[in-house]
Amino acid sequence: MSTTTTTADPYAAFKAVQKQGWASFAPLEAYTTPTAARLVSFAGVRAGQNVLDVAGGTGVVAITAARQGARVTGSDFTPELLERARENARIAEVPVEFHDADVEFLPFKDREFDVVLSQFGHMFAPRPAVAIAEMLRVLKPGGTIAFTTWPSHLFIGRMFGLMARYMPPPPPGVSPPPEWGDPAIIRERLGAAVKDLSFASGEMETPALSPQHHRVTTERTAGPVKRLVETLGPTEPEKLAEFRRAYDAMILDYLSDNVVRQAYLMTRATKV
């Protein structure tokens, strides 16, 4: 068994802020539950497989895979989400073992899993190379890695671009999460470690009575946006108001019939 380096994490403070921000995410599981089924299907999860769900939040992917008969381990580093995930598994009456785990330091053996999944999760790790190396380390040769991400040119990716105009830059070396939505970048990051790389697209539908309703929900639940509001609100309310106006205008491109349609990218590959 290989062990992850135990030196101090240079991004510990950055991750602590992430962890605090994502603590309120649970209400959004209503929207990520349908996409979880698509990812599990796209990955070809089968009964009896040993599956790891990385940065799995409230457990929607892990529980979906478990209901297919797989032996599932879930992981996340936000205590509030792990608590919700365990409760969701109890209600679903499926056995899922959940771990407090950072995607950059996964506490699992080399080549332990047949399938490694992540839905809108690993993309927030500050160092893509470290995160993908860990996910591949714990995957068996011939196993499947599959994940869902947000492309930079579509709604969520554009939202991150908008936020970057109002927030201080991240620490050096931190990559923007929407880079994981670019197939060319994914090919480069996975490199020769995989074969049979393929992509598919999907669409998440989020009910919203107005742009403002969608924004308010996002401000209360999505970690990066929640942090922006908490940062600008007390000290720069004019900038916060400007951000809100820009957000409301941008979302009009995706809102119709009281539904916000958010396209996403799914990636699947086989470990060499």
The model's pLDDT over 78-124, given as tens digits with 9 standing for 90+, comes to 999 999 999 999 999 999 999 999 999 999 999 999 999 999 999 99
Distances 256 to 94, 206, 251 between C-alpha atoms, Å = 37, 11, 10
The answer to whether 58 touches 29, Cβ cutoff 8 Å, is: yes
Q: Which stretch of DSSP H or E encloses residue 227?
A: helix 223-235
The structure tokens listed for 109 are 């053996």
Residue whose token pair is 């380390």: 137
Binned at pLDDT 50, 70 and 90, residue 57 comes out as very high
Per-residue confidence (pLDDT) for residue 7, from 0 to 100: 63
What local confidence, expressed as pLDDT, does residue 5 receive? 44
Fold classification of 12-206+263-271 (topology level)? Rossmann fold (3.40.50)
At 8, the pLDDT band (50, 70, 90 cuts) reads confident
State pTM to two decimals: 0.94
The beta-strand segments (E) located in the chain are 50-53, 71-76, 96-100, 113-119, 139-149, 194-207, 255-256, 259-271
Average pLDDT for residues 180-198, to the nearest whole number? 98
Residue whose token pair is 């403002």 = 212
Phi, psi of 203 (to 5 degrees): -140, 125
Examine the pLDDT at 138 and tell me if it is beyond 80.
yes
Provide the residue type at 225 as one letter.
Answer: V
Q: Which residues fall within 8 angstroms of residue 235, CB to CB, at 6 or more apart? A: none
* Per-residue pLDDT, 1: 44
Alpha-carbon span 29 to 26, nearest angstrom: 6
- CA dist., res. 240 & res. 263, Å (int): 26
- pLDDT tens readout for residues 13-39: 999 999 999 999 999 999 999 999 999
User: Do the beta carbons of residue 91 and residue 61 sit within 8 Å?
Assistant: no
Angle at 165 between CA 162 and CA 169, to 5 degrees: 115
